[in-house]
Amino acid sequence: MDPMDFDVNRVRRAFPALELGIAHFDGPGGSQVPLVVAEAVAATMTGGLANRGSVTDAERRADEVVREARSAVADLLGADPDGVVFARSMTQATFDLARTLSASWSPGDEVVVTRLDHDANIRPWVLAAERAGATVRWVDFDRRTADLTVADVEAVLGDRTRLIAVTGASNLIGTRPDVAAIAAAAHRVGALVHVDGVHLAPHAPVDVRALGADFFACSPYKFFGPHLGATVADPDLWEQLEPARLLPSSNAVPERFELGTLPYELLAGTAAAVDFIADLAAPSGGVRRERVLASMAAAEEHEERLFRGLLERLDAVDGVTLHGAPRRRTPTALFSVADRTPTQVHTALATHGVNAPGGSFYAIEASRWLGLGDAGAVRVGLAPYTDDDDIDRLVKAVTEVAP
């Protein structure tokens, strides 16, 4: 797709928050929300709802909201709608899944986690392994480049490896490991693969089947939607798992993994967010999955153009140190400013109308591995609504903050 087809000004007009004049580089922690998503949430909450059923209009409306949300997430990720499981958050979903899978682990089994990951794709597996008496194998990444390779993973695999948890993209540095190659290596030893796609899904076209992910988790609030989580897997794989659930709860897949009544209004917002993504650059009226892929490819190209220039300009600022230079990454940069703490830089940038937070952002293992400790550094992340003026404002503000 011609990058000229991506009209960033049209995209920006969809976000009421951008009218406040703030340059948002805090998308990795949660994107801004377009008006159509907020309207979908409000319309669902005020349109008459009941528990899902087929008797009343309200029951049928709730059921349709759930089915449409599953279909939308499936179109976003290239998944089966019947394999889409919703949860309060990706963190909660991963803890629930870890408890379920670990019920079949025993001493001598092994679980692989990486230091590149957000703690939500580390701690649930570490704790579950400890309870089962299984062994945890850690995969390190290159401190200089921040790359994590398939060879790094293969070095710790064995015939007792039960699961590999790996990120689709680091929320701290943006590194995008070769998930497909890692998944292939895992499957050769009979292991399952759980991919944290929270930071990947907002920035690139995703095909979970091509990635080889057995489980792929994401968070709609990172791609213009409401706060909740979703995990996708093949329905046949879900069928093999028996989670803890209430006695009267449905045992059907995917409902058996969803605890309590679903937040219908948030699911409606999620579907609206996927529709919004499909409309970013693709002509309306076509197949949604195809439009999503085309629009995400155009958004990725737009972000990459801006990001290349940003990296060059930040690297030229005296006193600024960029951390990591992965070969493949999302438009996410982590940097430190000499003689300034991350919190000081975060606070100073805010006075310039630039939102770029400092910290380790729950990627605590990665931050420590990079030598940044628990304090971390300053993170800037681009989004489809980022424009050249935002980049100029950020660089100018960082230049003034740097000693």
Q: What is the pLDDT along the chain (403 residues), one digit of tens a residue?
A: 444 479 999 999 999 999 999 999 999 999 999 999 999 999 999 999 999 999 999 999 999 999 999 999 999 999 999 999 999 999 999 999 999 999 999 999 999 999 999 999 999 999 999 999 999 999 999 999 999 999 999 999 999 999 999 999 999 999 999 999 999 999 999 999 999 999 999 999 999 999 999 999 999 999 999 999 999 999 999 999 999 999 999 999 999 999 999 999 999 999 999 999 999 998 888 999 999 999 999 999 999 999 999 999 999 999 999 999 999 999 999 999 999 999 999 999 999 999 999 999 999 999 999 999 999 999 999 999 999 999 999 999 999 999 8
Distance CA(230)–CA(208), nearest Å, equals: 13
User: Is the separation of the CB atoms in 121 and 167 below 8 Å?
Assistant: yes
Instruction: Give me 362's structure tokens.
Output: 């729950």
What is the pLDDT, as a whole number, of residue 4?
Answer: 44
Name the strand (E) or helix (H) holding 277.
Answer: helix 264-278
Buried b (16+ CB within 10 A) or exposed e, 113-139: bbbbbbbbbbbbbbebbeebebbbbeb
Q: Can you name the residues that pair with 354 across neighbouring β-strands?
A: 23
Give the model's pLDDT for residue 41: 98
Phi and psi at 243, nearest 5°, equal: -80, 165
| Model confidence, pTM | 0.97
Peptide bond preceding 254 in cis form (omega within 30 of 0): yes
- Domains contained in the chain, CATH given: 3-33+289-401 (3.90.1150.10), 39-276 (3.40.640.10)
Hey, which residues does 377 pair with through a beta bridge? Answer: 359
Helix (H) or strand (E) holding 98: helix 90-102
3-state SS, 117-184, equals CCHHHCHHHHHHHHHHCCEEEEECCCCCCCCCCHHHHHCCCCCCEEEEEEECCCCCCCECCCHHHHHH
Backbone angles phi, psi at 259, to 5 degrees: -85, 120
Residue with tokens 């990635």: 211
Closest CA to 49 of 38, 39, 57: 57
What does the angle CA 394 – CA 329 – CA 179 come to, to the nearest 5 degrees? 155
374: nearest Cα among 389, 359, 387, 388? 359
The first and second tokens of residue 216, run together, are: 């792929």
pLDDT the model gives residue 282: 81
Q: How many CA atoms lie within 13 A of 261 on its CB side?
A: 11
